[in-house]
Amino acid sequence: MKIITSIKDMQRYAQQLKSEGKSIGHVPTMGYLHEGHLRLVHEAKKDNGVLVMSIFVNPLQFGPNEDFDKYPRDFERDERLAENAGVNVIFYPGAEDMYPSKVLSVTVKVNDRVDVLCGKSREGHFDGVATVLVKLFNIVMPDKAYFGMKDAQQVAVVKAVVEDFNIPVEIVPVKTVREEDGLAKSSRNVNLTGQERQQAPAIYESLQLAEKAITNGEYNLNQIKNKVKDHILTNTDGKIDYVEIYSYPELKPVESMRGDIIVAAAVRFANARLIDNITLSL
Ligand code: PAF
């Protein structure tokens, strides 16, 4: 497995792979790998000649009071896990190379799908995600890039970014990977206390209750959202950031219970904010 830290070297290598007719799969990550990332690698390996994983904790997508400093980092562990999973190249740039000047002369501003869910509670977050991904796609030059559906809003936003900017990369969404008790795998789970970790599966349980209610014909959105909130509040010490139901991937209010919808929740614990969702085709 190659480790490339320089942007120029990565671009040169991507160009060489292309000239050899090899397709490039890209798994963009912020490191501290878990099985969710490894599932993305597994999917990417099926379809591509060479698999590049980028590891970069992107400061631009964290707000001033968010967990950029606390975000878990362990490159040696990531290196081992990536190599065992069959990653061919880790692209591991420094922040000073990705953002050489203090004031960025150009950033991407996302205008649609960001006034709801995580975009509403994390102002500017998706501008940071979109900016770093446009840069990473220009550096790694992937044919396909893989994203977990735990961040379903991110998947919807990234698809719009590549469409609007005509970036020739296919965005491949991959199903959320869960612990045995249902908790969605996340790098942030390590920041839960023992007790919070015991409580956290209630988030997915609450979404399953919503799914059951909807499939049993409950179409009153407030009733469904209250069911989800009650379950979270009764079973965890977390504070609900949001519980919402929207059309997916448009992320617009649901007018009739038809088509594809998302039921999404975000819950704040002492040192970790967890998100989860289910998408349903009605
Ligand atoms: O999902 C993530 O880990 C990040 O948002 C991403 C896509 C790597 C961009 O920094």
pLDDT tens, residue by residue, 32-43: 999 999 999 999
Q: Which candidate in 26, 34, 37, 231 is catalytic?
A: 37
37 included as an active-site residue: yes
Distance of CA 222 from the midpoint of ligand 1 (Å): 31
The span from the CA of 82 to the CA of 50, in Å, is: 13
Q: Is pLDDT above 90 for 256?
A: no
Name the strands in the sheet holding 50-55, side by side, starting at the edge strand that comes first in the sequence.
2-4, 89-91, 50-55, 24-29, 144-148, 170-174
Ligand 1 binding pocket includes 238 (Cβ within 6 Å): no
Q: How far is the CA of 28 from the centre of ligand 1 (A)?
A: 6
Ligand 1 neighbour 186 (Cβ under 6 A): no
C-alpha 232/C-alpha 196 separation (Å) is 12
First to last CA, the chain: 44
**pLDDT interval class at 257 (50, 70, 90):** confident
Question: What's the confidence (pLDDT) of residue 54?
Answer: 98
Cα 29 to averaged position of ligand 1 atoms, centre (Å)? 5
96-150 pLDDT, tens digit per residue, is: 999 999 899 999 999 999 999 999 989 999 999 999 999 999 999 999 999 999 9
Q: Which residue has the CA at smallest separation from atom 3 of ligand 1? A: 29
Percent of the chain's residues with pLDDT above 90: 97
Tokens of 265: 């929740």
Local structure of residue 253 (DSSP, 8 states): B
Q: How many CA atoms lie within 13 A of 228 on its CB side?
A: 30
Check pocket membership of 132 for ligand 1, CB cut-off 6 A.
yes
Count of C-beta atoms within a 10 Å radius of residue 170? 13
Q: Is the CB of 54 under 6 A from ligand 1?
A: no
Confidence (pLDDT) at 262: 98
| Closest atom of ligand 1 to CA, residue 29 | 8
Q: Is the CB of 28 under 6 A from ligand 1?
A: yes
